[in-house]
Amino acid sequence: QVQLVQSGAEVKKPGASVKVSCKASGYTFSSYGIIWVRQAPGQGLEWLGWISPSSGNTNYAQEVQARFTMTTDTSTSTAYLELRSLRSDDTAVFYCARVDGYNFDHWGQGTLVTVSS
């Protein structure tokens, strides 16, 4: 069965960096895109961007493209989201999800990133 398993919760200080991982299993990793979504506490879903594991092509939301980087490692079927220059308003749960056509059909369990001094 398709599974996306994300790395554990992180606590970081403002200005630091963090890298969240999303390990896929149960399907051919390179055949489906991966998106990343942010959900601030008590807020809605915010699309951050998309990456193609087969090509490495990316498309970022304008608000995050300067500080966030998406990568993949096809040898381990893992997608990564690196966040730099963290701010307190980056505190959120970050989700990865598989893209099947127009549908985000399988989601990871989420990773809470807390930014606090």
Partner 1 sequence: NSFLTQPHSVSESPGKTVSISCTRSSGSIASNYVQWYQQRPGSSPTTVIYEDNQRPSGVPDRFSGSIDSSSNSASLTITGLNTEDEADYYCQSFDGNNQVFGGGTKLTVL
Chain residues in the site for partner 1 (CB under 8 A):
35, 37, 44-47, 50, 59, 61-62, 95, 97, 101-105, 107-110
Q: For residue 11, what are its two tokens?
A: 């606590």
Task: Work out how close the CB of 64 gets to partner 1 at its nearest, in angstroms, rounded to a whole number.
Answer: 11
Sign of the CA dihedral running 27, 99, 39, 74: positive
CB nearer partner 1, residue 62 or residue 117: 62
Q: Which residues pair with 47 in a beta bridge?
A: 37
Task: Work out how close the CB of 109 gets to partner 1 at its nearest, in angstroms, rounded to a whole number.
Answer: 6
CB nearer partner 1, residue 21 or residue 110: 110
The answer to whether residues 23 and 78 touch, using CB atoms and an 8 Å cutoff, is yes
Residue 86 DSSP label: -
CB nearer partner 1, residue 65 or residue 71: 65
* Residue in 113, 110, 104 with CA at minimum distance from that of residue 2: 104
CB nearer partner 1, residue 22 or residue 86: 22
Task: Work out how close the CB of 60 gets to partner 1 at its nearest, in angstroms, rounded to a whole number.
Answer: 8
How many Å apart are CA 36 and CA 56, to the nearest integer? 14
